[in-house]
Amino acid sequence: MDAGHVDFCAAQVRRHDHDRYLCALFAPRAARPALFALYAFNLEIARIRESVSEAMLGEIRLQWWREAIESIDTETPRDHAVVQALAAARGLSHARLKAIMDARAFDLEDRPPEDMAALEAYAAGTSAELFALTLEALGVDDPAAALAARHVGIAWALTGLIRAVGFHGRARRLYLPADLAVKAGLHSEDVFAGRDTPALRAVVGQVADAARAHLSEARADAKSVPRRALPALLPGVLATAYLARIDRAEHNPFDPRLAIGPLPRQLRLALAAALGRY
């Protein structure tokens, strides 16, 4: 694997997805290039909506990436650092990479998910698939690990969407379930304006509860999960910490106290890795 491509991917992940960057550091050194390639790919796909002015341009960008993944099987993968790094990683499921892109097409529609089931399906497609790929990069093929990764992946996405309510709101986008919003009397314009309301807190609380439920499912059979899968599952530790902050803020997604500094995150991860917990 070209060191320059790996360095590029690692730098992108360190700057824009620091949580996953920290988790990758607990993986065996040989597996890290593939992890950085995966996480850099995820960044590229996740940022498409923010980088285009209309949905059609986003579809074109997604199609470029679909073709780029297909080019990995040829003698001349596309000349892009992330594509080259993915090609060098070898053995990663192209079907899962494409599933992530298919799920991300929802971002271009600029509408909220219809209900919690739709939100969890989005989380599964965008996040749980990435966690499954992380297991592949670690060489872990184990049913208990796969099930745990799916639940941690969904919980991670739900937690992240709560933390990103303000960011998405400024772009007039909303990822909270529409049916819950209607039932609570939540008005999208309040979210777009950054107004903290009881209705918003009620909906955020329900999404947080769903995230916690998935973390509980992920840990239900933790003793059966092989330790070598731990680097893929460590985000569960951070999700738990973020959810605790969300609770302390009484489910106000705009509260600046939701953020956790780099050192506390590193310490939490180091302790969890030492104890074999996620």
Per-residue pLDDT of the chain (278 residues; tens, 9 = 90+): 578 999 999 999 999 999 999 999 999 999 999 999 999 999 999 999 999 989 999 999 999 999 999 999 888 999 999 999 999 998 899 999 999 999 999 999 989 999 999 999 999 999 999 999 999 999 999 999 999 999 999 999 999 999 999 999 999 999 999 999 999 999 999 999 999 999 999 999 999 999 999 999 999 999 999 999 999 999 999 999 999 999 999 999 999 999 999 999 999 999 999 999 99
pLDDT at residue 160 in the model? 98
pLDDT at 138: 98
Q: What distance in Å separates the CA atoms of residue 230 and residue 225, rounded to the nearest whole number?
A: 8
Identify the sign of the CA torsion 27, 156, 120, 59.
Answer: negative
CATH 1.10.600.10-classified regions of the chain: 110-278
Any idea which residue has 């070898």 for tokens? 90
Class of the 110-278 domain? mainly alpha
pLDDT of residue 37: 98
What the block records as the tokens of 188 is 């999208």
Contacts of 82 (CB under 8 A, 6+ apart): 5, 8, 9, 37, 40, 41, 44
Gap between the Cα atoms of 236 and 269, Å rounded? 10
Provide the residue type at 179 as one letter.
D
**pTM, rounded to two decimals:** 0.96
Q: What is the pLDDT of residue 2?
A: 73
